[in-house]
Structure 1
């Protein structure tokens, strides 16, 4: 053995040492998080136990315990029982040793359940030393990013392969040692040196030593100050909470995270690899499952509830396919989110992105055809591009796919043509099932005609279990409450207002004319005496005094104009108004308005038309949401609220829906409750009560006509035909100058 062999062993030893250092640095960073988390988690568990009444112990023991004397002794909660311990419990009159043992066993079972389920929430408005310490510890891992996690994985793999070889190659470290080794050990050393040479060469060609060195530096670098970590947490809370869930082991319910899919599909998805080489963002467990589902099933609908990161899951699929050698990808989305998609792709992966929109879109399309990358275009622009051939496009992504549920629409036909010519298609929508099962079937048919044919009316009427089983090969949906345990609270308040005399007069005139849309906004026709407008001003004022940002949604442009004038006339000092953000505002400008709103220091108000801003734009800066009138479709309201209450939100969200008593608002609310139950049964939940068949077939036009006729009858007016002067649905009114 000469100097060359000794040099190989030395290089292997240095690589092994660097690998062990990275693994150790990462382990210490993780342990620092666990140490900072423990006192916060323990305190949260104690608060939960102190809120559980002693009577709950009967539920755990199926009613066998007699707890009257325990409660009379002053022990009123499960926390009290655990704190008392066996000695004090035994001193209670009428409580024997057997009862004490059963009581403590039941209390410990509840305590264990609370330990497993309680979530830690970080209040950014009330920082304290313990939460600051936790955020500082998490900051190290968040800042190190996916590269550090990748480095640790590679380091672990290298150590497992390299360390046994170094042990076998030890005789080769010196000439004398090699001479003294037996023949078998010398032969093993020769083989080990050759293997080390190959492994080290492979690692150096992949720049592994540099990756390990950089990861160690990143894992040892803390924030410049506690304040810097706090600010970074507010900006990237989703990444902090994702790491916290992973480290704590308190992950979401596995079945819920996997969308309650059948076992055979779940097994196939779990076995699907997911390459992260081109990705710059870590995935939560449910997000990784969603990406694998799209890869394993090839043509699917990802129907996750708003705020769960469907875009990130799509990017993970793109990055994996790029690692497999695919070069061309197409994303189709509403114009309002073109900018958002471009930013997300650029920030979250290493793929080239091109916008195919505007007068130069055909030149951009030709450039994309030649050079590849991720093309982002609109539904209308897609119609002007020729469908791809063969295996040209690695993945077609269709965002807000419910926009193409009508097979007669040209945009739907264009998407269907592209889906037919692409081997992989990913539809993304948080609202795939709004009013009719047939609409959902139309989406499924673009992906898998066999599944669509199997989804007959019997499934629609048999209840959600049959429906979800039938669509399982192509459909995955998860809900916020099941997988995002760290989301701050969402409080909804229906603000019922008595119409003023002026409001009532405007409303009766709209009813007399049979004008449904005028009925819906009559409460804002005379601003100087509008009861709804007065309450809206109070809500905005209160939010401003608390330093909060507010987003105000309405279906109607003219209502937003009234609100804008009213708030401008009475706005508190320091409150900035943004918008109105309407369907007529260009896509790029919409994103800029939202960015300016988010960046504004102090309280601010964003005025937005609910269909223009309720889709695709992220508004986590707002913690107060006001909806000026009930919407015709419940999913429109759900989408709007989810713009603020979503992954990344760090403050509790208050939602106020302004409603007028005794008229169209009351009737709409009652009818929408039935629609919401239908949506929950088929698209949101995995198993709920059977849906009523008559709820499936209520169209928006029929709903409007029914309300007008009922209101004319209630007010003793002769029935008049529903006016055709104004559109019936919010979607149609986006650019109608309402």
Structure 2
């Protein structure tokens, strides 16, 4: 039987498949090597951080509880800090002159407690503002692994699919490697060789061979990436980086904690499966948990702190529900963020958006009712939405749900009416407990009335585990420090400024006027802005930010202050955001700011630009005057300090000494402490704002102070 191929062809095809197998295994092994390198580099980073901390603790701390340990003996033997003895055994400690066996055990026990405490709080922190050899090695390994891993996965699939068949066919075709052997082979073996050669040739030219060649070359190229390119990728794709780190080194980020739910509910949530096909972005692990929780519990209040991505969790929930047959969803949100909602849904999923707002709202509503999709509307527009009694839709999402905590308000009644038609409801707010627990209960009563009934009257137990466990089936809150421990540092600065004579005169006149708000414009209310110390400091901060490659958001309560900010900074500013700016224009301004070069400034009234917007491209926040509520400033800062931020966020508060700024800051600090206490425990017992009565009392004190200063000045003259 004549062969259709030559002996050299046989050797060539065998060599080709040996090479293909090597290429596929090379990519798989490279991926595994970088996975192990990530572990090693992260462990090295954590170990060094722990040792660094231990080296700063003197051995004298061993006697803090007066255990009678002879610390002098340790010093005399050259052991001056805890790091020096951290890894010594009891027997090694006993060998130190002056240390008994009993003392050695006591030292070992005390040191172990210290080490364990430090291990618990030591975590990986990556920031483009703090590039060290250690962090660069981690970022580099993660970036390369991120790029190689998908290829490695496909290589594994190809090998699993074809390797056994290829090995068998190589054995069959090997008959033709030797002319003599071929001559004495049976017809059956020759047939097998012919078919094997045909199969191996075909396979080598198919995706199997092409992908092996392409992926191995790509892997080699990926390893050539520079450190700066890796850091640049980290800035662009930080979520992917952190997801990989969570997967490979779950303890390193310090957020590998329980779900914050009762055990049984936590198990149910974790085991809940959701199909997110059609979601065009990656979720963090805690976000996926939020989606599963809402999917499982059906009617819930998601109270995640600002910056944790409640919007993307809501979008993912709708995608998951669509994938089991749901066709209609509705989002109710403040008008200021309707454009952002429409954009996020369109960009982050394949869901169809129907905007029900403006002149065409009736036509849009009819379109949504007939054809489905995601209806996005505003609280104001809900009054025009009249659904037939029999009409049902799958999921209602209410953004900033604390807007409807007052059951007597018209918008609350409107949303309740719509909620009656929804099979599932997701309320979202980072400030649901901002004022009183009974307002949180009011929201829960719409979702799961039985739970609201059970906890009604339990306000005094709001910080107790019993209360939190009772509301867990309907209320789920995560805080940034629990799930975004990798966030870069938030650095807050109080910029206290001395008023010059011109500012003092303008301020005194403001205090003595009948306008109670005028003194809050201190420094900004001078006739010539060149005389403003706040304006001068603002310009300095913006110049520093520009040199450091940063963008800036400037917040003020007062529109005339915002206009003066624009006057001072000129063409560095994009258009400003205030309550009069339409949602569409607001989004255009943010897009312009995001696309602008370093040094760009976005001025915004804090009550308009401080909520519902994602502006991670900024890493400097300037607040022109103290606000009445700590939460208002926290919300404003959270526009920049949120998931996806890769730079340290710098916050500057512009403050004038010997002015109403000083009194307000004292009061705000007190209120902020109250807020931190209840926010940590998901409870709220007291109002935490500077209310009108408190501010009026402040102004009376300030009026008397200024009047005395002015009178004394006149007397001296």
What's the TM-score, normalizing by structure 2? 0.78
What is the CA-CA distance between 1:244 and the residue it aligns to?
Answer: 1.0
Given that 1:464 and 1:687 are in contact with CA atoms closer than 8 Å, whether structure 2 keeps it comes out as: no
Q: Which residue of 1 aligns with 2:680?
A: 685
The alpha-carbon distance between structure 1 residues 312 and 120, as it changes in their structure 2 partners (threshold 3 A), is same
- The answer to whether residue 587 in structure 2 is matched with residue 596 in structure 1 is no
Q: Which residue of 2 aligns with 1:700?
A: 691
Counterparts of 2:375 and 2:518 in 1: how far apart (Å)?
Answer: 42
What is the CA-CA distance between 1:706 and the residue it aligns to?
Answer: 3.3
Q: Which residue of 2 aligns with 1:629?
A: 625
Q: Which residue of 2 aligns with 1:286?
A: 286
The alpha-carbon distance between structure 1 residues 395 and 102, as it changes in their structure 2 partners (threshold 3 A), is same
Q: Which residue of 2 aligns with 1:198?
A: none
What is the CA-CA distance between 1:389 and the residue it aligns to?
Answer: 5.7
What is the CA-CA distance between 1:219 and the residue it aligns to?
Answer: 9.8
Counterparts of 2:252 and 2:398 in 1: how far apart (Å)?
Answer: 29
Q: Which residue of 1 aligns with 2:236?
A: 235
Counterparts of 1:619 and 1:423 in 2: how far apart (Å)?
Answer: 33
State the SS of the aligned residue for 1:416: helix
What is the CA-CA distance between 1:218 and the residue it aligns to?
Answer: 12
Q: Deviations over 1:541-600 (max 9, x none)?
A: 3333333322211111101111221233xxxxxx83223222222223323323332333
Given that 1:497 and 1:531 are in contact with CA atoms closer than 8 Å, whether structure 2 keeps it comes out as: yes
Q: Deviations over 1:192-241 (max 9, x none)?
A: xxxxxxxxxxxxxxxxx99x999989995837733443222111213212
1:104-253 maps to which residues of 2 (within 5 A)? 104=108, 106-107=110-111, 110-111=114-115, 114-115=118-119, 117-125=121-129, 127=131, 130-140=134-144, 142=146, 222=222, 225-226=225-226, 227-250=228-251
Of residues 656-665 and 621-630 in structure 1, the stretch that sits farther from structure 2 once superposed is 656-665
Q: Which residue of 1 aligns with 2:99?
A: 95
Counterparts of 1:393 and 1:155 in 2: how far apart (Å)?
Answer: 41
1:336-351 maps to which residues of 2 (within 5 A)? 336-351=336-351
The alpha-carbon distance between structure 1 residues 389 and 612, as it changes in their structure 2 partners (threshold 3 A), is same
Q: Deviations over 1:83-139 (max 9, x none)?
A: 788898667542345544653565456445545642222342454555444334323
Counterparts of 2:625 and 2:104 in 1: how far apart (Å)?
Answer: 56
Q: Which residue of 1 aligns with 2:270?
A: 270
Counterparts of 1:83 and 1:529 in 2: how far apart (Å)?
Answer: 61
Q: Which residue of 1 aligns with 2:477?
A: 477
Of residues 539-548 and 325-334 in structure 1, the stretch that sits farther from structure 2 once superposed is 539-548
State the SS of the aligned residue for 1:581: coil
Q: Which residue of 1 aligns with 2:635?
A: 639
Q: Which residue of 2 aligns with 1:671?
A: 667
Of residues 219-228 and 243-252 in structure 1, the stretch that sits farther from structure 2 once superposed is 219-228
Q: Which residue of 2 aligns with 1:560?
A: 562
State the SS of the aligned residue for 2:295: helix
Given that 1:463 and 1:681 are in contact with CA atoms closer than 8 Å, whether structure 2 keeps it comes out as: no
What is the CA-CA distance between 1:636 and the residue it aligns to?
Answer: 0.8
Counterparts of 1:636 and 1:240 in 2: how far apart (Å)?
Answer: 31
Of residues 646-655 and 541-550 in structure 1, the stretch that sits farther from structure 2 once superposed is 541-550
Given that 2:622 and 2:653 are in contact with CA atoms closer than 8 Å, whether structure 1 keeps it comes out as: yes
Counterparts of 1:389 and 1:213 in 2: how far apart (Å)?
Answer: 60
Select the residue among 509, 532, 535 that pairs with 2:534. 532
The alpha-carbon distance between structure 1 residues 616 and 273, as it changes in their structure 2 partners (threshold 3 A), is same
Q: Which residue of 2 aligns with 1:605?
A: 601
Q: Which residue of 2 aligns with 1:76?
A: 80
Given that 2:438 and 2:459 are in contact with CA atoms closer than 8 Å, whether structure 1 keeps it comes out as: no
- The answer to whether residue 572 in structure 2 is matched with residue 576 in structure 1 is yes
Q: Which residue of 2 aligns with 1:46?
A: 51
State the SS of the aligned residue for 2:274: coil
Note the aligned Cα RMSD (angstroms). Answer: 4.2
Q: Deviations over 1:261-314 (max 9, x none)?
A: 334433443343333333343433322222222122211111111111212222
What is the CA-CA distance between 1:603 and the residue it aligns to?
Answer: 2.4
Counterparts of 2:574 and 2:75 in 1: how far apart (Å)?
Answer: 56
What is the CA-CA distance between 1:635 and the residue it aligns to?
Answer: 0.8
State the SS of the aligned residue for 2:589: helix
Given that 1:327 and 1:394 are in contact with CA atoms closer than 8 Å, whether structure 2 keeps it comes out as: yes
Counterparts of 1:508 and 1:711 in 2: how far apart (Å)?
Answer: 10
- The answer to whether residue 656 in structure 2 is matched with residue 660 in structure 1 is yes
Counterparts of 1:104 and 1:467 in 2: how far apart (Å)?
Answer: 41
Given that 1:435 and 1:679 are in contact with CA atoms closer than 8 Å, whether structure 2 keeps it comes out as: no
Counterparts of 2:629 and 2:152 in 1: how far apart (Å)?
Answer: 43
Q: Deviations over 1:467-508 (max 9, x none)?
A: 534533321111111221211111222223333333333333
State the SS of the aligned residue for 1:618: coil
Given that 1:29 and 1:219 are in contact with CA atoms closer than 8 Å, whether structure 2 keeps it comes out as: no
Counterparts of 1:429 and 1:449 in 2: how far apart (Å)?
Answer: 19
Q: Deviations over 1:608-652 (max 9, x none)?
A: 211222112222222221111111121110011111111211122
State the SS of the aligned residue for 2:59: coil
Given that 2:27 and 2:148 are in contact with CA atoms closer than 8 Å, whether structure 1 keeps it comes out as: no
1:435-514 maps to which residues of 2 (within 5 A)? 435-456=435-456, 458-460=458-460, 463=463, 468-514=468-514
State the SS of the aligned residue for 1:658: strand
Q: Which residue of 1 aligns with 2:386?
A: 386
What is the CA-CA distance between 1:57 and the residue it aligns to?
Answer: 4.5
Unpaired runs of at least 5, structure 1: 1-16, 175-208, 569-574, 718-738
Q: Deviations over 1:416-447 (max 9, x none)?
A: 22222212111111111223334333322332
The alpha-carbon distance between structure 1 residues 415 and 563, as it changes in their structure 2 partners (threshold 3 A), is same
Given that 1:41 and 1:119 are in contact with CA atoms closer than 8 Å, whether structure 2 keeps it comes out as: yes
The alpha-carbon distance between structure 1 residues 214 and 445, as it changes in their structure 2 partners (threshold 3 A), is farther
Q: Which residue of 2 aligns with 1:411?
A: 411
Counterparts of 1:238 and 1:246 in 2: how far apart (Å)?
Answer: 12
- The answer to whether residue 25 in structure 2 is matched with residue 34 in structure 1 is no
The alpha-carbon distance between structure 1 residues 391 and 151, as it changes in their structure 2 partners (threshold 3 A), is farther
Bigger Rg over Cα: 2
Counterparts of 1:506 and 1:331 in 2: how far apart (Å)?
Answer: 47
